[in-house]
């Protein structure tokens, strides 16, 4: 299950990352392929096809300090594949996962920031490209990840969400 922050400005993430860096528990790079046959992910160990299972979203207006959250219980069924489609668009991605506690194993919720890895070659006119970010990573998505079926009304879940939101405030 994913929880998104409604109208979160991705442009400020580079400034926030220096404050939450100490909570980083995992960083991984992968390639995401979009094709007429579906969405595929290639990482160091696997080639996977993602089959979406959609559900209705729940909106939590003004959950904390005027943050509105969108709870999306949709998920992907992951299938290992050995054959890839011939027509696709590929994007190199980086996924950083953060935990709110110092133990990093007790929390239910993780904060995930997904960034596109800029693979453009330098052409001398990069000043014209307004989307160049530090470290060649362009933030694309930020969300909280919880195990499917987590009760979002649970007080401990709410407290953990508030810890993360206060870090992003």
Look at residue 119 and tell me whether its pLDDT is greater than 50.
Answer: yes
Q: How far apart are CA 145 and CA 109, in angstroms?
A: 6
Token readout for 23 is 């909570």
DSSP-assigned letters across all residues of 46-103:
-EEEEEEE----EEEEEEETTEEEEEE--EEEEEE-S---SS-EEEEEEEEEEESSSS
- As for how many domains the chain has, the answer is 1
Threshold 0.85, pTM exceeds: no
Q: How far apart are CA 77 and CA 166, in angstroms?
A: 32
Average pLDDT, stretch 125-140? 59
pLDDT of residue 118: 79
Half-sphere exposure of 36 (CA within 13 A, CB side): 2
In terms of Cα–Cα distance, which of 39, 77, 71 is closest to 56? 71
Determine what percent of the chain is predicted with pLDDT higher than 70. Answer: 86
| Band of residue 105 on the pLDDT scale cut at 50, 70, 90 | very low
Token readout for 77 is 């069924």
pLDDT of residue 107: 64
In total, the chain counts a number of residues equal to 169
pLDDT of residue 96: 94
Most confident segment among 70-79, 115-124, 135-144, 155-164 = 70-79
**Cα 62 from chain centroid (whole Å):** 22
| Band of residue 148 on the pLDDT scale cut at 50, 70, 90 | confident
- Residue span of the structural domain in which 109 resides: 2-168
| 3-state SS, residue 37 | coil
Give bridge partners of residue 40 from the DSSP assignment: 33, 49
């Amino acid at each position: 299950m994913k929880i998104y922050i409604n109208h979160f400005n991705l442009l400020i993430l580079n400034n926030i990352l220096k404050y939450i860096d100490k909570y980083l528990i995992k960083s991984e790079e992968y390639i995401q392929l979009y094709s007429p046959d579906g969405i595929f992910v290639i990482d160091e160990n696997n080639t996977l096809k993602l089959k979406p299972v959609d559900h209705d979203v729940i909106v939590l207006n003004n959950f904390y300090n005027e943050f509105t959250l969108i709870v999306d219980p949709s998920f992907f069924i992951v299938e290992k594949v050995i054959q890839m489609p011939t027509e696709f668009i590929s994007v190199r991605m980086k996924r950083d996962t953060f935990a709110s506690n110092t133990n990093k194993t007790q929390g239910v919720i993780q904060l995930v920031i997904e960034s596109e890895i800029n693979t453009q070659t330098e052409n001398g006119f990069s000043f014209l490209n307004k989307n160049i970010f530090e470290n060649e990573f362009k933030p694309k998505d930020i969300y909280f990840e919880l195990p499917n079926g987590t009760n979002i009304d649970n007080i401990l879940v709410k407290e953990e969400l508030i810890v993360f939101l206060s870090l992003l405030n």
